[in-house]
Structure 1
Amino acid sequence: MAARSAWSRMRDALRQEIIETAQRLFLEHGFEATTVDDIAEQVGISRRTFFRYFGTKEDVVLGDLQERGDAVARALANRPADEGAWEALRAAMLDSLTETFNDPVADLALARMMKDSPSLRARRFEKRLYWVDTLSPLIAPRLQGANPHYAATTIVSAALSCVDLASDTWADSDGKADMIALYDSAVAALRDSWHS
């Protein structure tokens, strides 16, 4: 048991070293210009070892996106049952912020990379499908109508698009804008358009 624990700690340490090295290279040279070979060489590992830890270069940046979705799901599951779908989703995302966003400098760097890299945006979209699948069943019971699952999927997908727009706008402001206010204004515009 102790040997496995030591192995696990070594794996975690190497994974963290890959992440930190990759982030430094991404910031110095740009995400698109940095290759897996560049990262592996700097860490002192083979390309094959890199792929034991990460499926793609994009996963180095987005690896915790699934965990962030799980944090929102946990917060959403704890919201009052009589709270509206939009309100519960917003509150759950805010509740999970302290669990998922705790380094403003790194979060701003990530937002900038995300905005500027087509391959990162595409991979983020793929990973966000997990969020939709995870959060929609928690939203559906809050909805009335013939097909609450369809409506819940629509709401979650739209809310995540609002998150992405708010994040891009926040990155454009150099982290000075209020991301929550940006999200709220995007949701308000969306909801107003449905009623007009």
Structure 2
Amino acid sequence: MGTPTSLWQRSREAVYAEIASVAMRLFLEQGFEQTTIDEIASTAGISRRSFFRYFGTKEDIVLGHLAGRGELVRDELDQVPLNVGPWEALREALDKVNALEVEPGVTLRLAKMMYETPSLRSRSIEKHLHWQSLLIPDIRRRMAIAEDDVSNPAPGAILASVIACLDVAGEAWVLSGGAEDLATLYDRAVCAVREKS
């Protein structure tokens, strides 16, 4: 049985969720770049200073979940036997954390906003680079590359490719108007990257 969540923690999570909900409504109504932090704070009934107790940047409201998702992928990757190749193991880990599914409540408008807003796109790439640092030790072990062998670019190249495939699959999903299956788009992107000329 887990440790009970404290009243303070539950209160903090409720405020976090309320600020995020208010901000997302404003973003979708008037656009991400047109919505200011002061406006989010005022609408949520908090001060600007209080806003920064919960979010480091405006972009983190939309993308804050990505950092935690990377840790989940790492944990699932650790469960995949080392005799499974890196591409296949990463695909299995992504599947386990539902990274290739469109989450309920995530609208096409929200995804479109992310891909069309440069600051959100760059923040997303930055968070995905954090994934790379989390996942590379497993991929190195999986490829039987010594920890002190820093000259082999293969693990980093595979992870960078997987992250790029996730990104372009998401963009293709948005361009399809949400009609395509995200997992299928990702698999097609990976096939294109892995195809030998």
Fold-level similarity (TM above 0.5) = yes
Offset of residue 104 of structure 1 = 3.1
Find the partner of 1:191 among 165, 189, 194. 194
Q: Does 1:172 align with 2:175?
A: yes
- Name the CA distance, whole Å, in 2 between partners of 1:185 and 1:15: 37
SS for the counterpart of 2:153 is helix
Q: Which runs of 5+ in 2 are unaligned?
A: none
Number of residue pairs aligned between Structure 1 and Structure 2? 190
- Name the CA distance, whole Å, in 2 between partners of 1:64 and 1:169: 21
SS for the counterpart of 1:111 is helix
With the length of structure 2 as denominator, give the TM-score of the two structures: 0.89
Offset of residue 5 of structure 1 = 2.2
Query: Percent of aligned positions with the same letter in both sequences?
Result: 46
Q: 1:23-102 counterparts in 2 under 5 A?
A: 23-97=24-98
Find the partner of 1:162 among 160, 165, 168. 165
| Contact persistence 1:40–1:46 (CA under 8 A) | yes
Q: Does 1:181 align with 2:193?
A: no
Residue equivalent to 2:17: 16
Offset of residue 106 of structure 1 = 1.3
- Structure 1 moving runs of 4+ over 6 Å: none
Offset of residue 111 of structure 1 = 2.0
- Per mean C-alpha deviation after superposition, the further-off stretch among 157-166 and 138-147 is 138-147
- Name the CA distance, whole Å, in 2 between partners of 1:125 and 1:149: 23
Offset of residue 101 of structure 1 = 5.5
| Contact persistence 1:140–1:148 (CA under 8 A) | no
Instruction: Indicate the structure with greater helix content.
Output: 1
| Contact persistence 2:101–2:182 (CA under 8 A) | no
Q: Deviations over 1:112-159 (max 9, x none)?
A: 121111000111111111100001111111225675863111101110
Q: 1:93-112 counterparts in 2 under 5 A?
A: 93-97=94-98, 103-106=103-106, 108-112=108-112
Q: 1:119-138 counterparts in 2 under 5 A?
A: 119-138=119-138
Which amino acid is 1:176 matched to? A
Q: Deviations over 1:159-190 (max 9, x none)?
A: 00000000011112222101111111111111
| Contact persistence 1:25–1:34 (CA under 8 A) | yes
Q: Which runs of 5+ in 1 are unaligned?
A: none
Which amino acid is 1:132 matched to? Q
